[in-house]
Amino acid sequence: MKNLITRTGNHEIAKEGEFKYVIKKNESKGMIVPVTIYADENLVSKMALDRTIDQAANVATLRGVMKHVVVLPDGHEGYGFPVGGVAGMDLEEGVISPGGVGYDINCGVRLIRTNLREKEIRPKIRDLVNQLFHAIPSGVGSSSPRKVTGSEMDELLVEGVRWTVNNGYGWDSDIDVCEENGCMKGADPVHVSELARKRGSLQLGTLGSGNHFLEVQKVDKIFDEEAARAMEIEEDQITVLIHCGSRGFGHQVCSDYLKISEKKIRDSGMKIVDRELACVPNNSDEGESYRKAMYSALNFAWSNRQMITHWTRNTFEKVMGMTEDEVDMKLVYDVSHNIAKVERHAVDGEGTRDLVIHRKGATRAFPAGDSHIPDKYRKIGQPVFIPGSMGTASWILLGNTKSLELSFGSTAHGAGRTMSRSAARRNYTTDSVRKNLELKGVYIKALSREGMVEETPEAYKDVDSVVEVSHSLGIATKVARLVPIGVIKG
Amino acid sequence: MKQLKEKAAMIEKIKQDETKTNMAKIDDREILLKYLYDRGDEVLQLAELQYPVQTRVIVKRIVDLIKSREIDSLISGGELLAIFRSVGLRIRVDTNIRIDDHGKFISFGEKLKEGI
């Protein structure tokens, strides 16, 4: 393969390994560090067709960026930063960027295991999916049956999942198996706007729209017996994957701080190559404020997924006519995809140092032994979930040692779009998507026609090839493949 | 009158059941369920889903009142909902608006279509 040129023609992408591509540091273009892309030929070619790699090169110009900017195999263009990107900024000298986290702060996934097998679920799948759809509000602007008062909101934003569990929506054991135990310390609701609070007060426990979904799946194949045992996963078992984020609350936090960042840039005269990369110095007052507000949104999103988990458990018990103990819907793990937080990483020739790691459409994938992993998984490594598009497989992976060396302890977060939403609407119809899914044995209940058509599996890259890259590089390795049998969507 | 008789019979039956079980420990929720009618069970289920911790406290308090005979009549869904609302818990209940149209109940949507 000859070297690729990015869409703007500004950067040349050189192949350095089977799954590794690099844009060398180019000081004339303002780049402080190189860009490393982990992908196969097909995936990197698709990235070169849009702004993905140019955006990564832009990130490499930001003040305090360290080591390299990483693009993961599911990378695609986003707002300022590419989705599927990771960047580490120096804690003292670097910046923090709302666009580097994204609008849906702590969009993430959690996996729940059950004691059920496919043959028990199949006859009831329509009823189950319909009841889940009824119990869990979905769609743009959907509101929760559980309105959160002002004082409850303050507690929730500080305590995260602990607040939700203390109020009866889940089990104590759920807290242990969330990234950061479902509570980012340092959140401060004082830095959250009234509008964000208002939007959030009506949306706790709602799925939302876009690519968010709740999927009833079966375990198709196990690749790592030891890890699967630790996660209590077996072949043919039914699992539930919940994919959603901080809803209007997080969106508002991001919008508010993008405006503040843009103003700060104008006032300070700081030069950035793309307006969408609006950012503020990490140690400035504005940086501090954004971090506290963003941490509040992280806690909101973990609570949101926790509330949905509670209603999912309840619906399963009702439809299956079983008790809580009989269904035994334990949370396997909950991981964030859109986040920025301080982590300690090795930087070439400097030992380790504290960096503000921005993961936008990327999953933390820490290896065995890391103190941030719950006791239950510390011997094997951190569970990682890579959801495919609806109708295609999802994966359970395990964080591996190479992730620290190659990608700031991160791996991919999904399949990644390859077709715009409008193109999907032009090329597919609700009936064709529904029929196609039903042929695969997947029953879907969606609120809107657009929601279903825009998320057609053909609009996404092949999740299996994304996972193959991660596995082959040893960033995060395969544990199990899951296939859907029922989906609810906004 | 017929409804009142039915209610009285139900209360009598509950009292007999209570005597039978005598000292046997019955879950507060089970006791309350026997006193609920007219979508009362549905309101209780929704309250448990939407406010699990608070509902447990309220159920215990209502059952205490039942045991002390301060509540000695059945509780309708509407009344239970009013109890929750009185302490600030706004339970969301699925509601259908049906209109009495010449002796026949029709949905609000159908009524609007008729108007068109």
Question: pLDDT digit string (tens) for A50-86?
Answer: 899 999 999 999 999 999 999 999 999 999 999 999 9
Nearest-by-Cβ selection for B49 from A147, A167, A314: A314
Question: What is chain A's mean pLDDT, rounded?
Answer: 93
Cβ neighbours of B49 in A, within 8 Å:
135, 145, 310-311, 314
Where do the domains of chain A lie?
A: 4-94+341-363, 108-245+294-336+372-489
Q: What pLDDT is recorded for position A309?
A: 97
Q: Could you tell me the two tokens for A267?
A: 């006032």
Average pLDDT over residues A419-445: 87
pLDDT value at A187 more than 90? yes
Name which of A465, A466, A442 is nearest A455 in CA terms.
A442
**Predicted confidence (pLDDT) at residue B25 exceeds the cutoff of 60:** no
pLDDT of A320 higher than 60? yes
Mutate to test the interface with A, among B48, B56, B90, B92 (most CBs of A within 10 A): B92
Q: In this predicted structure, what is the pLDDT of residue A206?
A: 94
- β-partners of residue A446 are A489
Q: Read off the pLDDT of each residue in B3-14 and give the average, rounded to a whole number.
A: 70
The answer to whether A481 touches A220, Cβ cutoff 8 Å, is yes
- Cβ–Cβ under 8 Å, residues A260 and A286: yes
Structure confidence at residue B24 as a pLDDT band (50, 70, 90) = very low
Q: Report how many Cβ contacts below 8 Å link chain A to chain B.
A: 22
The count of residues in chain A is 490
Chain A residues touching residue B46 (CB < 8 angstroms) = 145
The pLDDT score that the predictor gives to residue A1 is: 59
CB-based contact A473:A431 (threshold 8 Å): no
Q: Are strands A108-117 and A383-386 parallel, antiparallel or unpaired?
A: unpaired
Prediction pTM value: 0.90
Q: Would the CB atoms of A314 and B56 count as touching at under 8 Å? A: no
**pLDDT at site B4:** 67
Looking at A80-94, A450-464, B7-21, B27-41, which range is the least confident one? B7-21
Question: Left if phi > 0, otherwise alpha if psi is -120 to 50, otherwise beta: which for A340?
Answer: beta
pLDDT of the residue at B14? 66
Establish whether A251 is a catalytic residue. no
Query: From B56, which residue of chain A is nearest by alpha-carbon distance?
Result: A168
pLDDT in tens, A363-416: 999 999 999 999 999 999 999 999 988 778 999 999 999 999 999 999 999 887
pLDDT higher than threshold 80 for residue A32: yes
CA dist A178 and B4 (Å) reads 54
Q: Under an 8 A CB cutoff, do B46 and A147 touch?
A: no
Which segment of A112-116, A167-171, B3-7 scores lowest on mean pLDDT?
Answer: B3-7
Residues of B with CB under 8 A from a CB of A: 46, 49-53, 56, 90-92
According to the model, what pLDDT value does residue B23 have?
Answer: 45
| Domain A108-245+294-336+372-489 fold | tRNA-splicing ligase RtcB (3.90.1860)
| pLDDT at residue A211 tops 90 | no
Average pLDDT over residues B108-114: 81
What pLDDT does A270 receive? 85
Find the catalytic residue in A11, A76, A191, A413.
A413
Q: Which residues contact A255 (CB under 8 A, 6 or more apart)?
A: A103
Q: Which domains does chain B have, with CATH numbers?
A: 2-92 (1.10.8)
Distance from CA of B39 to the nearest CA of A (A): 17
Rg of chain A on CA atoms, in Å: 21
Q: Which residue of B has its CA nearest to A166?
A: B53
Q: Do B50 and A168 touch (CB under 8 A)?
A: no
Sign of dihedral through CA atoms A309, A315, A319, A325? positive
Q: Which pLDDT does position A425 carry in this prediction?
A: 86
Cβ separation of B49 and A147 shorter than 8 Å? Answer: no
Confidence of residue B6 (pLDDT cuts 50, 70, 90): confident
- Flag whether pLDDT at A119 surpasses 80: yes
Residue A380 CA to residue A398 CA, distance in Å, equals 8
ipTM of the complex: 0.77
Chain A residues in contact with B50 (beta carbon < 8 A): 145-146
> Chain A closest CA to B114's CA: distance in Å?
27
Query: Across the interface, which of B46, B53, B91 has its CB nearest the CB of A168?
Result: B53
For residue A333, give the nearest of A235, A451, A476 by alpha carbon. Answer: A476
Highest mean pLDDT among A7-21, A40-54, A318-332, A342-356: A318-332
pLDDT at residue number B85? 94
